[in-house]
Amino acid sequence: MCGIVGYIGKREKREFLLDGLRELEYRGYDSAGIAVLHQNEINYFKAGGKLDNLIEKTKDFRSIGFGLGIAHTRWATHGKPTEINAHPHWGEFSFVIHNGIIENYMEIKKELQSEGVVFLSQTDSEVIVHLFEKFISQNLTPQIAFEKTVQSLKGAFAVLLISKVASETIFFAKNAVPLILGKSSIDEIFFGSSDAPLIGFADEVTYLEDGTYGWANKEEIQIYKGSQKLKPVFKPLNTSKIYAQKDGFRFFMEKEIYEQSAVASETLMGRIKDDKVFLEELNGYDFNDIDEIKICACGTSYHAALTSSYLFERLAKIRCSVEIASEFRYKEPLLDKKTLFLVISQSGETADTLEALKMAKRAGLKTLSICNVDNSSIVRLSDATILTRAGIEKGVASTKAFATQVLSLWLLALHVAKFNNNISDEKCTSEIKAIRGIPAVLKVDEEIHEKLHRLSKRYLHGHGFFFIGRDIFFPLALEGALKLKEISYLHAEGYPAGEMKHGPIALADSTLFTVALMPQNMLYDKTKSNVEELSARDATILAISPKEFVLADDFIKTQPYEHPMSEFFEMMVITQLLALEISIRLGNDVDMPRNLAKSVTVE
C-alpha cells in the first residue's frame, strides 16, 4: 500500500523524506520518489524497487535552508510498477503524490488529452497535477485552482501537491485514505500517511477528516470541508515508534484485523467495473482447456483454498480439489494437463507450496498463484499471479492476508464462471453486489469487540474448543480454530458441524467450548440441529448468528446479511477478535507466538 510523507521547514529535506519513507516501508511498495521545492526550483527523483535504489539516486542531493518536499512509496494498482509510474507526477511547474484511486480519472484524462495535455504515466494520479495546472492557466489563484481540482475528483485519495506558483505551500486533500498533518514548535509542518514518519519531529498532529482539503505554509494552515472552513484540532503525538507503527493498537494482529476493510478495498480496486470482474493479470490466460482446478497451500492459505473450492464448484461449475502442500508432494499425485494448478501463499516463500508448484510445472500443468508478496519465489515461478494487496502482514497469525485471499479467490471464481459461460448475468450481478459490500462488512463493530473482550475471560480454561460450521463455514471453523490455537496455545479444532456425532461428540461436557457458526443463508436448520445435539450433552455453546438461539450460553448477534459470503466475512472478524482477546488475557505475545515463524521456508 502506498505511503506519503511531506515537509515544510528548514531541515535537510532529502534526509527527512527518505527516513520518513523508511518508516512506511512495512506497508509494502514497489517504487518510490521525492520532489523538493527550494528557492523556486523543483528537484525530483524516482526509482523502481526498493528504497535503497532511491537513496542511491539521490546520494549527491542536499537541500539546506527553508523549503518543502513531498515523498511517496507506490504499491501499483493502475499501471505497472515502473519508474515512470512512480510518484511524484509532474506537469509544467507542479508535482503531485497520491494514495488511493481516482475513479473518474479516465473521463478527466480524455478531456485533458483532447485539450492537448500529454500524459507520461499509466496512473490515475497524474490527472491531478494536469487538472490543477489547467485551472491555473485560467488565471485562478493556486488555492481556488486546487479547490476546483479536488472537487473534480471522485474516489479515495490522499494528495499532496507542490507548485512553483505557490513556492512555500503544500496543498493537500483527503478522502477515505489516511492523511495526518503535524507541526512542531519551530514552525515546521509535516504530513504522513501514518504517524510513523512524524514521530520525534512533530509535537502535535491532526488526523484529517474525509472530504477535507487545504494548504499549509509557514504563515497559515487552512483546512476546508466543502465551502466551510474548519478549525483543526491538534493532539500531542505519542513518541514511541512501535506505538506509531501499530497506530495505537496493542498488537500488529489487532491493527491488521482493523485494517481488513481498507485492504479489501485495495484488493478490489480496479478489478470490478460495470458489474464485471476485470483481472488484468489474467489477460490472455485461457481457461478453455481446463476441466479441473487443483489448489495447494498450507495453514491459513489452505483454509482460503478450501473456502474457494465451494465457490469454484458452485459459481464456476468447475471441479475443484484442495490439498495440503506437504501431503501433495509425497503422494505421487496423478496430474493431468487439463488441470489448472493454483497455489495460495501470503509470503510466496513457503517451501512446501513452492515445491508443489515446481512439481506441477515439471508435469506441464498451467499454473496460477494467489499471493501477497510481489517478486516472491512463488510469484516468479507461476504463469500468472493475482496479488492480494493486503500490505505487509506483521502478526504471525494471518488475518488480513486470509481475508484478501478469499476475496481474490471469489473474484477468480467469477472470472472463470464468466469465461466458461457458466453463470447468468443476474447471478453475476448479485455476486458482484455482495463483493462490493465486503469492505463495509469487514469494518470492526466496536460493540462486538467489547463484548468479545468481556466474554474472553470465560474461555481461558476447559479442555478445548470446537469451532463448527457447514459448507464455507467449515473452512472458516478450521481457520477460527487455527487462529485460537496459534496465539492462545489452547487446544482448538475446526470440524464440519454434521460430523460431530461421528466421534468428537464423545468429548462433550460443560468444559468443552463450542463456537458455532450459524449463518442464516447457509444450512441454518441443519447446523442448528447439530448444535442442539451438543447442547443436549452439556457442551458450552458460543453461538455466532443473526438469529437468536435460545440454547446458546453466549451469543454474538451478527447482521442479517443476504449473502452467505457477507456472513462469512463478518464471522471471520469475530473469530479473529475472539482469539486475540483470549490470547491477550492469557498474557501471550500475540504477534510472535512461541514456536512459529511468519514465513516457513523449510519443509
Q: Strand, helix or coil at 547?
A: coil
575/554 Cα distance (integer angstroms): 14
Separation of alpha carbons 333 and 342, rounded Å: 15
Shortest Å distance, C-beta 574 to ligand M6R: 16
Residue 558 engages ligand M6R in binding (rule: CB under 6 A): no
Identify whether the C-beta of residue 415 lies closer than 8 Å to the C-beta of residue 368.
Answer: no
Closer residue to ligand M6R in complex, CB, 64/596: 596
Residue 350 binds ligand M6R, judged by CB under 6 A: yes
Among 63, 163, 167, 301, binds ligand M6R (CB under 6 A): 301
Query: Are the CB atoms for 335 and 360 separated by under 8 Å?
Result: yes
* 384-403 positions binding ligand M6R, by CB under 6 A: 396-398
Q: Is residue 299 involved in binding ligand M6R (CB under 6 A)? A: yes
Angle at 345 between CA 341 and CA 351, to 5 degrees: 85
Q: Is 2 designated active site? A: yes
- Reading the block at residue 592, the C-alpha cell is 510472535
Per CB under 6 A, the segment of 42-50, 90-98, 296-304, 381-389 that binds ligand M6R is: 296-304
CA atoms within 13 A on the CB side of 102: 25
Residue 218 is placed in which grid cell? 509557514
- Which of 353, 404, 488, 535 touches ligand M6R (CB under 6 A)? 353
Least gap, CB of 551 to ligand M6R (angstroms): 31
Binder among 77, 346, 456, 540 for ligand M6R (CB under 6 A): 346
Q: Which region among 100-108, 294-302, 334-342, 549-557 touches ligand M6R (by CB under 6 A)?
A: 294-302
Minimum distance, C-beta of residue 398 to ligand M6R, in the bound complex (Å): 4
Q: Is the dihedral of CA 51, 22, 400, 266 positive or negative?
A: negative
Q: Which of 169, 212, 300, 377 binds ligand M6R (CB under 6 A)?
A: 300
| Sheet containing strand 366-371, strands side by side | 319-324, 292-297, 339-345, 366-371, 385-387
- Which residue among the candidates 57, 148, 164, 598 is catalytic per the annotation? 598
Q: Which stretch binds ligand M6R (CB under 6 A): 65-73, 149-157, 517-525, 592-600?
A: 592-600
CB of 486 to ligand M6R, least distance (A): 6
| Cβ contacts of 449-455, under 8 Å, gap ≥ 24 | 449/577, 451/556, 452/556, 452/574, 452/577, 452/578, 452/581, 453/581, 455/542, 455/554, 455/578, 455/581
d(CA 508, CA 539) in angstroms, rounded, equals 5
**Is residue 576 within the footprint of ligand M6R (CB under 6 A)?**
no
Which residue's C-beta sits nearest to ligand M6R? 299
In DSSP notation, 324-392 reads EHHHHTTS-----TTEEEEEEESSS--HHHHHHHHHHHHTT-EEEEEESSTTSHHHHHSS-EEE-----
Cβ distance to ligand M6R smaller for residue 182 or 299: 299
Say whether residue 308 binds ligand M6R (CB under 6 A): no
Q: For ligand M6R, which is the closer residue by CB, 80 or 394?
A: 394
Query: Looking only at residues 463 through 522 of this chain, which bind ligand M6R when binding is defined by CB under 6 A?
Result: 486
- Stretch 151-170 residues interacting with ligand M6R (CB under 6 A): none
Of 2, 298, 320, 371, catalytic: 2
CB 5 within 8 A of CB 130: no
- Any idea what the Cα angle at residue 59 is, between residues 55 and 64, rounded to 5°? 110
The region of 15-23, 189-197, 229-237, 292-300 touching ligand M6R under the rule CB under 6 A is 292-300
Smallest gap from Cβ 503 to ligand M6R, in A, equals 25
| 100 vs 593 by CB, closer to ligand M6R | 593
Whether the ω angle into residue 142 lies within 30 degrees of 0, i.e. cis, is no
- Among the candidate windows 217-225, 330-338, 339-347, 458-466, which touches ligand M6R by CB under 6 A? 339-347
CA 178-183-185 angle, to 5 degrees, is: 160
**E-assigned strands of 146-277?**
155-163, 170-175, 180-183, 189-192, 204-207, 212-216, 221-225, 228-230, 235-236, 272-273, 276-277
Smallest distance from ligand M6R to CB 404, Å:
11
Pairing type for strands 221-225 and 235-236 reads: unpaired
Q: Closer to ligand M6R by CB, 31 or 399: give it.
A: 399
Within 489-563, where are the H helices? 524-536
Asked if 178 touches ligand M6R (CB under 6 A), the answer is: no
Min dist CB 401 to ligand M6R, Å, is 7
Do 538 and 510 touch, CB atoms closer than 8 A? yes
What's the min distance (Å) between Cβ of 598 and ligand M6R? 7
CB nearer to ligand M6R: pick between 421 and 595: 595
Taking CB under 6 A as the binding criterion, the range among 18-26, 43-51, 117-125, 341-349 that sits at the site for ligand M6R is 341-349
Distance, in Å, from the CA atom of 83 to the CA atom of 87, rounded to the nearest integer, reads 8
Who's near 395: CB < 8 A, 6+ residues apart?
A: 251, 252, 253, 256, 590, 591
* Window contacting ligand M6R (CB under 6 A); options: 66-74, 453-461, 549-557, 594-602: 594-602
Nearer to ligand M6R, 33 or 299 (CB): 299
Name which position in 152, 308, 326, 345 contacts ligand M6R (CB under 6 A).
345
- Of 440 and 597, nearer to ligand M6R (C-beta) is 597
- Least Cα distance to 578 among 594, 561, 590, 566 occurs for 590
- 598 is known as an active-site residue: yes
Please identify, using beta-carbon distances, which residue of 272 and 600 lies nearer to ligand M6R: 600
Q: Cβ 247 to ligand M6R, closest distance in Å?
A: 21
Q: Which is nearer to ligand M6R, 269 or 324 (CB)?
A: 324
Q: Per CB under 6 A, does 347 bind ligand M6R?
A: yes
Q: What is the DSSP string of 65-115?
A: SSEEEEEEEE--SSS-S-TTTSSPEE-SSEEEEEEEEETTHHHHHHHHHHT
| 370 vs 517, beta carbon nearer ligand M6R | 370
Q: Residue numbers of the site for ligand M6R (CB under 6 A)?
A: 298-301, 345-347, 350, 353, 396-398, 486, 596, 599-600
Report the catalytic residues. 2, 598
